Structure 1
Amino acid sequence: MKFIAIHKDNYNQVAEIYKEGIATNRATFETIVPGWKIWNNKFLSFGRIAIEKNNKILAWASLSSTSKREVYNGVAEVSVYVKGSERGKGLGEMILKELIKISEHNNIWTLQASIFRENKPSIHIHEKCGFRIIGYKEKIAKLHGVWQDNMMLERRSKVVGV
Structure 2
Amino acid sequence: MAIRAARLADAEGILEIVNHEILNGVSIFELAPRTLADQRTWLQDRAGVHAVIVATPDGDDHTVLGFASLSPFHTRPAYNTTVENSVYVHRDHRGQGIGRALLEELVGLAKSHGFHTVIARISGGNETSVAVHRSVGFELVGTERQVGRKFGRWLDVSVMQLMLAD
* Superposition TM-score, scaled by structure 2 size: 0.88
Equivalent-residue separation in structure 2 for 1:44 and 1:155 (angstroms)? 22
- SS of residue matched to 2:74: coil
Displacement of 1:21: 2.4
* Residue identity in the other structure for 1:153: M
Give the ranges of 4+ consecutive aligned residues of structure 1 lying more than 6 Å apart after TM superposition. none
The equivalent residue for 1:3 is 3
The equivalent residue for 2:121 is 114
Q: Does 1:45 align with 2:51?
A: no
* Residue identity in the other structure for 1:39: W
Q: Contact between 1:64 and 1:76, CA under 8 Å: does it hold in 2?
A: yes
Specify whether residues 52 and 97 from structure 1 end up closer, same or farther in structure 2 by C-alpha distance, changes over 3 A only. Answer: same
Report the more deviating stretch, 122-131 or 111-120. Answer: 111-120
Equivalent-residue separation in structure 1 for 2:20 and 2:161 (angstroms)? 25
- In the alignment of these two chains, the number of paired residues is 159
Equivalent-residue separation in structure 2 for 1:144 and 1:68 (angstroms)? 29
Equivalent-residue separation in structure 1 for 2:12 and 2:150 (angstroms)? 24
The 5 Å alignment of 1:86-125 reads 86-125=93-132
Displacement of 1:135: 0.9
Q: 2:76 aligns with which of 69, 80, 85?
A: 69
* Residue identity in the other structure for 1:36: Q
Alignment identity in percent?
26
Displacement of 1:4: 1.8
Give the RMSD, CA atoms, in angstroms: 1.7
- SS of residue matched to 2:42: helix
Equivalent-residue separation in structure 1 for 2:143 and 2:41 (angstroms)? 28
The equivalent residue for 2:149 is 142
